[in-house]
């Protein structure tokens, strides 16, 4: 039922956030929200969709929470929560009747910043954000990250216990600490997107569902923090990259490099939306890493071919990004751009310097990139050694097949 699906995406996080704030019980909030949607699935096909579906769901979820808490009469704190739910504070919930809490935006921000609190392990932040803000089940999250469901369940339980036991506050950080904490939130979302866009392991290179979840979260944060240019930059970046996902593998699931992609398969709607977000972000300061990466992606999106790409401009932007982040992965990407405008010999020197620093040991793209430069220079034996090193480290089957094919080319 499309209405329930769209309502689920729009309302799940808001309802969970409201119930978490008013009860302090994460599991109760999720279970009661789930109950409300199950009730909708049972009743809406027969009774019709309510005029205000969000208000209907909020009422059902809140009433369900009241019933659950009233049965637990042994703890005074629970009785206090019943009172909070049964008699909403008009100053905070003046618009409950129309399904929009007076500070529903702050509710979701509280939820996001709590899920992404730096006291939690990074993998727990990603899992908890997915669970509470998108409504994914534990089994769905486990499948997305290729771990057993029991492992993911324990991860979620530990994260919730950490929030409760460590007294992690359910609030938006103060103005002084908002910037660094926002950076952490955006990093969690981008990590999620990258796991979908270029999976670290498994039989598939691209997991479209993870990309779409990350896009949804990125848009949400950008709307909730309209004065944060990096949030807009992240939306632009993920949209530019997501626009290419259909062209990144062929019909048999094999990797297709950027150079060989059919650009007619790139999603122009995604690209146009990304450019709007980037233009908006450029009007605000400072110009941060996500905006720089989005600007790089925009150059690719505007070019009609690899040869028609402004690689020198891309190399300059990567240089700015290296200065901003100090990331050796960014340095490796800059080397690729340098190879396209100054030749593989110059770029190989850059890669060898990165390899000498030992900061990317275990990162398969380091030997894979080096192998590509060596192949293009005609140093077939050296290229073969680097391809074999990359094969020892690669995680996904499509990338393994691609490297195996390249190895065969230089050893034939």
pTM: 0.76
Residues 178-187: contacts with CB under 8 Å, at least 24 apart: 181/113, 181/116, 181/118, 182/221, 182/225, 182/228, 182/230, 182/231, 183/230, 184/116, 184/118, 184/125, 185/112, 185/113, 185/116, 185/221, 186/218, 186/221, 186/230, 186/231, 186/234, 186/290
Answer whether residue 400 shows pLDDT above 90. Answer: yes
Alpha carbon distances (Å) from 82 to 29, 56, 63, 79:
13, 19, 10, 5
Provide the H-helix boundaries in 243-379.
Answer: 268-282, 289-302, 311-325, 328-342, 344-357, 365-376
Alpha carbon distances (Å) from 286 to 178, 231, 290, 292, 321:
15, 12, 11, 11, 13
The residues, any chain, with a CB within 8 Å of residue 204's CB and separated by 6 or more, are 253, 396, 397, 398
Query: Angle CA(287)–CA(292)–CA(295) in degrees, nearest 5?
Result: 115
How many of the other CB atoms lie within 10 Å of CB of 298? 20
User: What pLDDT score was predicted for residue 125?
Assistant: 87
User: What pLDDT score was predicted for residue 86?
Assistant: 53
Closest by CA to 20, choosing from 111, 102, 128, is 111
pLDDT in tens, 12-34: 888 998 898 888 888 889 999 99
Handedness of CA 127, 133, 139, 143 (dihedral sign): negative
How many of the other CB atoms lie within 10 Å of CB of 29? 23
Instruction: Please tell me the distance from the alpha carbon of residue 208 to that of residue 214, in angstroms, as a whole number.
Output: 10
Instruction: Please tell me the distance from the alpha carbon of residue 128 to that of residue 321, in angstroms, as a whole number.
Output: 30
Instruction: Please tell me the distance from the alpha carbon of residue 255 to that of residue 275, in angstroms, as a whole number.
Output: 26
The residues, any chain, with a CB within 8 Å of residue 319's CB and separated by 6 or more, are 334
Spacing of C-alpha 24 from chain mean position? 26
68-77, 109-118, 349-358, 370-379: which has the highest mean pLDDT?
370-379
Percent of the chain exceeding pLDDT 70 equals 88
User: What pLDDT score was predicted for residue 204?
Assistant: 64
Q: Which of 64-73, 102-111, 385-394, 396-405 has the least mean pLDDT?
A: 102-111
Instruction: Please tell me the distance from the alpha carbon of residue 124 to that of residue 180, in angstroms, as a whole number.
Output: 19
Better-scored residue on pLDDT, 104 or 364: 364
Are the C-beta atoms of 261 and 305 separated by less than 8 Å?
A: no
Q: How confident is the model at residue 103 (pLDDT cuts 50, 70, 90)?
A: very low
User: What pLDDT score was predicted for residue 196?
Assistant: 77
pLDDT in tens, 260-296: 999 999 999 999 999 999 999 988 877 899 999 999 9
- Per-residue HEC secondary structure of 341-408 comes to HHCHHHHHHHHHHHHHHCCCCCCCHHHHHHHHHHHHCCCHHHHHHHHHHHHHHCCEHHHHHHHHHHHH
Instruction: Please tell me the distance from the alpha carbon of residue 390 to that of residue 403, in angstroms, as a whole number.
Output: 8
Instruction: Please tell me the distance from the alpha carbon of residue 373 to that of residue 138, in angstroms, as a whole number.
Output: 43
The residues, any chain, with a CB within 8 Å of residue 125's CB and separated by 6 or more, are 115, 116, 117, 159, 184, 188
User: What pLDDT score was predicted for residue 134?
Assistant: 77
Q: How confident is the model at residue 319 (pLDDT cuts 50, 70, 90)?
A: very high
Helix axis angle, 344-357 to 328-342, nearest 10°: 160
User: What pLDDT score was predicted for residue 341?
Assistant: 94
Answer whether residue 77 shows pLDDT above 60. Answer: no
User: What pLDDT score was predicted for residue 78?
Assistant: 52
Q: Which two tokens stand for residue 74?
A: 């042994």
Better-scored residue on pLDDT, 73 or 209: 209
Instruction: Please tell me the distance from the alpha carbon of residue 228 to that of residue 186, in angstroms, as a whole number.
Output: 11
Q: Which residues share a beta bridge with 249?
A: 255
Phi-psi group of 236: left, alpha or beta (phi > 0 → left; psi -120 to 50 → alpha; rest → beta)? alpha
Answer whether residue 100 shows pLDDT above 60. Answer: no
Q: Which residues share a beta bridge with 255?
A: 249
Place of tokens 């008013």: 22
Instruction: Please tell me the distance from the alpha carbon of residue 23 to that of residue 86, in angstroms, as a whole number.
Output: 11
Handedness of CA 6, 8, 12, 14 (dihedral sign): positive
């Amino acid at each position: 039922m499309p209405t329930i699906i769209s309502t689920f995406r729009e309302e799940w996080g808001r309802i969970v956030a409201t119930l978490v704030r008013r009860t302090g019980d994460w599991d109760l909030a999720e279970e009661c929200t789930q109950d409300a949607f199950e009730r909708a699935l049972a009743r809406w096909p027969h009774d019709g969709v309510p005029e205000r579906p969000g208000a209907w769901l909020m009422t059902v979820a809140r009433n369900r929470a009241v019933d659950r808490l009233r049965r637990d009469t042994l703890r005074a704190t629970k009785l206090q929560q019943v009172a909070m739910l049964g008699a909403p504070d008009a100053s905070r919930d003046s618009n409950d009747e129309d399904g929009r809490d007076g500070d529903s935006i702050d509710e979701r921000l509280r939820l996001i910043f709590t899920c992404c609190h730096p006291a939690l392990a990074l993998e727990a932040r990603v899992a908890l954000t997915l669970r509470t803000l998108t409504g994914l089940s534990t089994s769905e999250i486990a499948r997305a990250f290729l771990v057993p469901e029991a492992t993911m369940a324990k991860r979620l339980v530990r994260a919730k216990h950490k929030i409760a036991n460590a007294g992690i506050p359910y609030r938006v950080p103060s103005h002084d600490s908002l910037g660094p904490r926002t950076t952490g939130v955006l990093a969690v979302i981008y990590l999620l997107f990258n796991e979908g866009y270029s999976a670290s392991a498994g039989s598939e290179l691209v997991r479209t569902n993870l990309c779409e979840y990350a896009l949804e979260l990125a848009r949400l944060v950008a709307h909730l923090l309209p004065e944060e240019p990096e949030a807009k930059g992240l939306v632009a970046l993920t949209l530019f990259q997501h626009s290419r996902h259909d062209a990144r593998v062929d019909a048999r699931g094999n990797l297709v490099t950027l150079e060989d992609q059919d650009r007619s398969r790139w999603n122009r709607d995604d690209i146009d939306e990304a450019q709007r977000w980037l233009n908006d972000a450029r009007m605000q300061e400072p110009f941060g890493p996500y905006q720089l990466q989005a600007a790089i992606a925009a150059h690719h999106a505007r070019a009609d071919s690899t040869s028609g790409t402004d690689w020198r401009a891309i190399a300059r932007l990567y240089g700015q990004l290296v200065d901003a982040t100090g990331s050796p992965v960014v340095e490796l990407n800059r080397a690729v751009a340098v190879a396209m405008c100054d030749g593989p010999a110059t770029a190989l020197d850059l890669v060898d310097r990165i390899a000498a620093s030992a900061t990317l040991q275990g990162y398969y793209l380091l030997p894979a990139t080096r192998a590509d430069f060596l192949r293009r220079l005609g140093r077939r034996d050296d290229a073969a050694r680097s391809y074999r090193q990359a094969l020892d480290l690669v995680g996904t089957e499509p990338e393994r097949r691609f490297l195996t094919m390249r190895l065969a080319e230089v050893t034939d």
